[in-house]
Amino acid sequence: MHPSIEHLRTDTTSVVVDVSAGIPVILHWGAPLNEVPLRWQGGLRTYGTMDVVAPISLVPMHGDGFAGRPGLQVHRRGGRHWSPRFRAENHSVSRVAGGVVLESHAIDEVSESEITGRLHLADDGVLTASADFRNNSDSPVMLNSFTVTLPIAGQATELGVFAGRWSRELQLQRFEWPYGAWTSENRVGRTSHEHPPYLFAMESTAGEWCGQVWGIHAAWSGNHSMYAEWMPDGRRYVQAGELFHPGEMCVYSGETLSAVDVIGVYSDSGLTAVSRAFHREGRRRLPANAHRVRPVHLNTWEAVYFAHDEERLRRLAEVAAAVGVERFVLDDGWFGGRRNDHTGLGDWTVSSAVYPHGLAPLIAHVRELGMEFGIWVEPEMANPDSDLLRAHPEWAATTDGYEPVMGRRQHVVDLTNPAAFEHVLSALDALLTGHDISYVKWDMNRWHVQASGGDGTAITHAQTMALYAMLDELRRRHRDVEFESCASGGGRIDHEILRRSERVWTSDCNDALERQLIQRGASMIIPAEVMGSHVGPSRSHTTGRRLSMALRGVTAMFGHMGIEADVTAMSEDELADLSHVVAVHKRFRVLIHSGDVARFETFELTGGSALSHGVIATDRSEALVAYVQLTTAQAPVPPTWRILGLDAERDYTVNMVPLTRAAVPVPGTAVDQPAWLADSLAGRPQRLSGAFLRDVGLVPPVMWPESAVLVHLSGS
């Protein structure tokens, strides 16, 4: 192998890197290689082009002749040094715990700047790519963009990305990779509902369990750009990273700016394998508290909204404890003058009007019932009608001379202002110090629009860093307190916020039918134990649809389970069924929260009328899988339900798990039940091999729309 080429390798992935140019050039990222030739065949020159074929480096440069989008776009005052060129200085490859790191250092004497490229390949094949830019000159450098670029093999002819909106997050869109460039840009100041920074490049034949797939994620909680180009010379690449507003990013003399981590995952076994790798990386990043048993929640929002009343909340807690809830979370409306969403946001002191004796009596009652106590905050925002902004209007992140564009009657609080940061931090610290609170639901409900600091420059980058700093400091002071990332539901789900959150709120929509697809998308990127999933009321407050407890329960089963409904208004029968599904979740939650996700091809085979998913123990000893009938199908009898991913040599006992108190047949129109289901109901469950379940599978029951069946497969 040539001395300038390094080969990073695991059992599943090879990354071959040329370091001769200083900025790493990935020659191959994909299937594991047993050999690397002495001379790697690169791009070929053709007539009508330059005398060199500029490589697709980790940070490709226009000055090197790269015809695509540069990874670094900079300039100094007057437009000078707008197209730097770097040369190799040194590089190293070192073994670290759980993987190997290649670091390559490049310098440009003309622009007096440096770039350090870094590739970390974990032993399980997850690639994390990052880069640092350092300004060594006496004058500042303005950065228009600084992103990380990964080459993609030519056989990846399709792209998969998430689209969405509030209450309909993470809808996978799959399409042919167009000639030229596809781009997605986010400027709302959070990861976003609309364009979350995840992308899948894949073969056209790839599915959940087959085909080559490359997954790419920009791990950042602010503005970002995702860019995929099929170049005129046939090469393909994906570029991912932070998006800067004009003039937002200036690197002063002696300063270093780090590009955001870009996480890359390769698999030759389809999308499910890529999802599992994203989950492993997410679990590595999680705070230590996230690895304990995840308690079942009750969140008060859809039970009381702003109508806080201590006696009503006490009763809500009592019923919640009786059905098996382990954590009681008090949502919006407990503080200041916050009786609606017009006033009080930003005043993080307990409302004496609603709680004349403070929160201590309610917290004590919750704790006596055996539950933890959690609370909702939205520290990054404030109403104009608040004590905070009346006292400090300059803390609103607005732009002088313009009437602010409002969102939810809120302003962004400028946490880049040291005084504002310290005020909010002190208020939250006092809240947690003065109360027995073990959990904080941290919300963020407003976009950044023309959000400027005191000097008039855009603040989204600095605000995101301030958010991280505040969460880190609160965790340092309150090590046992857990945090949930919420942003109008799933607007801030990324692998960088996972470093600071034990849980994310997947969606404000608790309609179980909508949640099936929302959570299917979420299962592609985050592990089940951080995916907040609640049993909502019988009538959804976002869709108006009425759904059975069985469907609501099985939907909430496969995440971090909770309840968001007025349990005091439920009938005895509904409460008994709710208690049943909570007990089923507790029975299987260690499996759900530690196993490997599995998604099956039923959605595609049934034209979107049914889907199936589940979790398989990492040792393949058991599995819990669900089959959900979403709508009516063209054919009354569904296709065979093949369950992949089990141990082919092992036999499994096939048992239906009742979703109501009585083990009754699932609701449907068939005269007969499938043999495996009839035998399970009769108490003589069938035993089938993993090979049979993979190659033949189970016949699903014929069910009414909005129905589901849950199956436990127990291996011998």
Which residues, other chains included, contact 587 with Cβ-Cβ below 8 Å and sequence gap of 6+?
none
Confidence check: pLDDT of 667 > 80? no
Which one-letter amino acid corresponds to residue 36? V
Q: Is the pLDDT of residue 613 over 80?
A: yes
Distance between CA atoms of residues 357 and 580, nearest Å: 36
Residue-level pLDDT at 51:
72
Q: What angle do CA 88, 225, 487 make, to 5 degrees?
A: 130
Please check whether residue 522 is in contact with residue 483, taking contact to mean a CB–CB distance below 8 angstroms.
no
Reference 555, options 577, 535, 538, 539; nearest CA is 535
Phi, psi of 78, deg, nearest 5: 85, 0
End-to-end CA distance of the chain: 48
pLDDT score recorded for residue 403 = 95
CA distance 346 to 203: 49
Structure tokens at 487: 């942003």
User: Average pLDDT for residues 462-483, to the nearest whole number?
Assistant: 98
Residue 79's pLDDT band, with cuts at 50, 70 and 90, is confident
Structure tokens of 10? 């695991």
Predicted TM-score (pTM) above 0.95: yes
Per residue in 366-411, pLDDT (tens digit) is 999 999 999 999 999 999 999 999 999 999 999 999 999 999 999 9
pLDDT at 45 over 80: no
pLDDT score of 483: 98
- Say whether 245 sits in a helix, a strand or coil: coil
Which among 587, 593, 692, 605 is positioned nearest to 646, based on CA atoms?
692
DSSP for residue 570: S
Q: What is the pLDDT of residue 53?
A: 79
Contact 603, 626 (CB under 8 A): no
pLDDT (average), residues 53-81? 93
* pLDDT computed for residue 123 by the predictor: 97
| Residues in contact with 692: Cβ distance below 8 Å, sequence separation at least 6, in sequence order | none
Which one of 443, 577, 596, 647 is the catalytic residue?
443
Q: Is 526 exposed, middle or buried (0-12, 13-18, 19+ CB in 10 A)?
A: buried
Higher per-residue pLDDT: 668 or 242:
242
pLDDT for the residue numbered 665: 63
Which entry of 18, 332, 508, 647 is annotated as an active-site residue?
508
Contacts of 313 (CB under 8 A, 6+ apart): 300, 304, 330, 362
Residues 150-174: what's their mean pLDDT? Answer: 97
Confidence of residue 442 (pLDDT cuts 50, 70, 90): very high
Annotated catalytic residue 480 = no
Report how far Cα 498 is from the mean position of its chain's Cα atoms: 8
- Mean pLDDT calculated for residue range 632-646: 91
What are 204-235's pLDDT values in tens digits? Answer: 999 999 999 999 999 999 999 999 999 999 99
CA proximity to 153, closest of 84, 235, 251: 235
For range 539-564, the mean pLDDT: 96
Helix ranges, 193-233 (H): none
pLDDT of 3: 76
Task: Say whether pLDDT at 121 is over 80.
Answer: yes
Q: Whose CA is closest to 33, among 63, 61, 50, 11? A: 11
pLDDT at residue 44 greater than cutoff 70: no
Which contacts of 397-405 are long-range, i.e. CB under 8 A and separated by 24 or more positions? 397/448, 397/451, 397/452, 397/453, 397/459, 397/463, 398/450, 398/451, 398/452, 399/450, 399/451, 399/452, 399/456, 400/452, 400/456, 402/450, 404/449, 404/450, 405/449, 405/450
Taking alpha carbons only, the member of 303, 223, 213, 230 closest to residue 56 is: 230
508 is catalytic: yes
Residue pair 133/23 in contact (Cβ under 8 Å)? The answer is no
- Count Cα atoms within 13 angstroms, Cβ side, for 278: 33
The encoded tokens of residue 166 equal: 């509030």
Q: pLDDT by residue (tens digit) across 331-358?
A: 999 999 999 999 999 999 999 999 999 9
Give the torsion sign (CA, 187, 188, 192, 194): negative
Of 77 and 197, the one with more pLDDT: 197
| Predicted pLDDT of residue 28 | 96
Banded pLDDT at 2 (limits 50, 70, 90): low
Mean of pLDDT over the chain: 95
Helices assigned H by DSSP within 409-510: 418-433, 460-477
Burial call 408-444: b when 16+ CB within 10 Å, e when fewer: eebbbbbbbbeebbebbbebbeebbeebebbbbbbbb
Give dist(CA 236, CA 232) in Å, integer. Answer: 9
Convert 493-520 to b/e letters by CB count within 10 Å (16 or more is b). bbbbbbbbbbbbbbbbbbbbbbbbbbbb
- Helix (H) and strand (E) counts for the chain? 13, 35
**What does the alpha-carbon distance between residue 71 and residue 129 come to, in Å, rounded to a whole number?**
13
Mean pLDDT of 635-650: 93
Please say whether the beta carbons of 495 and 520 come within 8 A: no
Confidence band, pLDDT 50/70/90 cuts, at residue 1 = low
Amino acid at 571: S
CA atoms within 13 A on the CB side of 655: 14
In terms of phi and psi (left: phi > 0; alpha: psi -120 to 50; beta: otherwise), the region of 186 is beta
Whole-Å CA distances, 2 to 6, 13, 17, 37, 150: 8, 20, 11, 8, 22
Domains (range + CATH), the chain? 5-76+87-280 (2.70.98.60), 296-379+414-444+455-595 (3.20.20.70), 598-715 (2.60.40.1180)
DSSP 410: B
State how far the Cα of 19 lies from the Cα of 110, in Å rounded to an integer: 21
Residue in this structure with the two tokens 């019923």, named with its chain if needed: 319
pLDDT-above-70 percentage for the chain: 98
Contact, 483 vs 501, CB < 8 A?
yes
Judge residue 27's burial from the number of C-beta atoms within 10 Å of its C-beta, 0-12 exposed, 13-18 middle, 19 or more buried. buried
Mean pLDDT of 300-324: 97
Decide if pLDDT at 49 tops 70: yes
